Structure 1
Amino acid sequence: MHTRVKDIALLLGRIGVAVVFFAHGLQKWDSGVGGTADYFTQVGVPLPTIAAVFVIVLEVFGSISFVAGFLLPLIAVGYVVDTAGALLSVHAPNGLTGTGGYELVLVLGLAALALGFNGGRLSLDHVLFWRKREARQAELASV
């Protein structure tokens, strides 16, 4: 019972984090690579066009993958890079709290990191990779 509740909580956490990234990704998608790169140039993001493509792909398609639980560690590390860039280039001067503060960016990045390396059994990563590994370990332990 406890394991099921944990797995559901992890899935809900992944959904919550991914929805926020997805919403921001759609805003950037609507602006296009050019518009997003122009904004990144204004705030001092290095390689703004490459960064814009990376962030749009990560926030839109990576969020879908995050909900499905596919390639969780890779997406989580991408989210951390994304949020670190946002924190340093936009939010840090505004402080932790208040208008434009970095509290949401910080929590999103760290929550994504935690969920990316512990996505639970309700994930494609578990079905495709971990379940087979657990079965082999159980088989070796019984020998």
Structure 2
Amino acid sequence: MFARVKDVALLLGRIGVAVVFFAHGLQKWDSGVGATAGMFDKIGIPLPTVAAIFVIVLEVIGSIAFVAGFLLPLIALAYAVDMAGALISVHAANGLTGDGGYELVLVLGLTALALGFNGGRLSLDHVLFWRRREARPESARELETA
């Protein structure tokens, strides 16, 4: 029973993180790549158009994949890069808390990492990649680790 509760909690965590990223991605999508790239250029992010496309795709499409549990480690690392960029370029000067502080980007980036590498059994990654590995005989798994 504990495993089921854990899996549901991990799914709820992925949903919570993805909803926040998705909402911010939709804001950037609505503004457009040009406006987002202009904002990125203004705050000194290198390759602002490439960065804008990366962030919009990550925060919109990546959030859907994160909820579904597809390519979790990859999405988690991309989220962490996204939040590291936001922390360094925008929020660090404002301190941890208060107006413009970096507490949200810190929590989002680190939580995404934790959930990305511990997505639980209620994920496509588990169904597509891990379940087959767990079902193999013990002797086959020993050969892999040797």
TM over 0.5: yes
Secondary structure of 2:121 counterpart: coil
Return the offset for 1:50. 0.3
Secondary structure of 2:21 counterpart: helix
Residues 1:122 and 2:126 aligned together:
no
1:15-66: per-residue Cα shift (whole Å, max 9, x none)?
0000000000000000111000000011111110000000000000000000
Report the equivalent of 2:131. Answer: 131
Report the equivalent of 2:24. Answer: 24
Looking at structure 1, the residues matched to 25 and 71 of structure 2 have their Cα atoms a distance apart, in angstroms, of 18
Return the offset for 1:101. 0.1
Report the equivalent of 2:63. Answer: 63
Looking at structure 2, the residues matched to 137 and 49 of structure 1 have their Cα atoms a distance apart, in angstroms, of 49
Residue identity in the other structure for 1:69: G
Residue identity in the other structure for 1:28: K
For normalisation by structure 1, the TM-score amounts to: 0.96
Runs of 4+ in 1 over 4 A off after TM superposition: 137-141
Looking at structure 2, the residues matched to 71 and 95 of structure 1 have their Cα atoms a distance apart, in angstroms, of 33
Which residues of structure 2 form unaligned runs of 5+? 142-146
Q: Name the % identity.
A: 80
Which residues of structure 1 form unaligned runs of 5+? none
Report the count of equivalent residues. Answer: 141
Report the equivalent of 2:42. Answer: 42
Report the equivalent of 1:8. Answer: 8
Return the offset for 1:139. 6.7
Residue identity in the other structure for 1:118: N
For normalisation by structure 2, the TM-score amounts to: 0.94
Residue identity in the other structure for 1:109: G
When the two chains are superposed, the root-mean-square deviation of aligned CA atoms in Å is 1.1
